[in-house]
Amino acid sequence: MKLSLLSALVCATVVALTSPASAEDAALAGDDLRRTVAGRTIVLDTPVGGIPIVYQLSGALSGTAKGMPAHLMQGPSQDHGRWWIAAGTVCQQWSTWLEGRKHCYQMRVRGKMVQWRREDGRTGTARIVSN
């Protein structure tokens, strides 16, 4: 089974969360999580550049991976999908990226920096760039 570009990049950016959580960067949930994501652009950090992901207020989701090396592209450079909050996580499902599968992420935020952990244990970082 081929991995999509985003899946490969997420795998490549796996980073262990090494410091214990403090009250300041506790995992967000409920309304706090929705306020952090809704209507914002969050840039997923990857070894070859950032991928901006737009979390629209309507629950729509869009992303652009333009400028990524051609050998990493196994799908479109742009995708769309939907996002929602469930059980203290941000869930999202792309049309094509990540093979169109649903994934849910816990988020810890410190300022504009985000550390995320997916339900399968994969982790990484991102930056909030707009509100």
Domain 5-130 bears CATH identifier 2.40.230: no
- 3-49 tens-digit pLDDT: 444 444 433 333 222 233 344 456 777 788 888 899 999 999 988 88
The amino acid sitting at 121 is: G
Structural domain boundaries in the chain: 5-130
Could you give the count of Cα atoms lying within 13 Å of 81 in the half-sphere of its Cβ?
20
Task: Give the closest residue to 82 by CA, choosing from 67, 97, 71.
Answer: 97
pTM of the full structure: 0.76
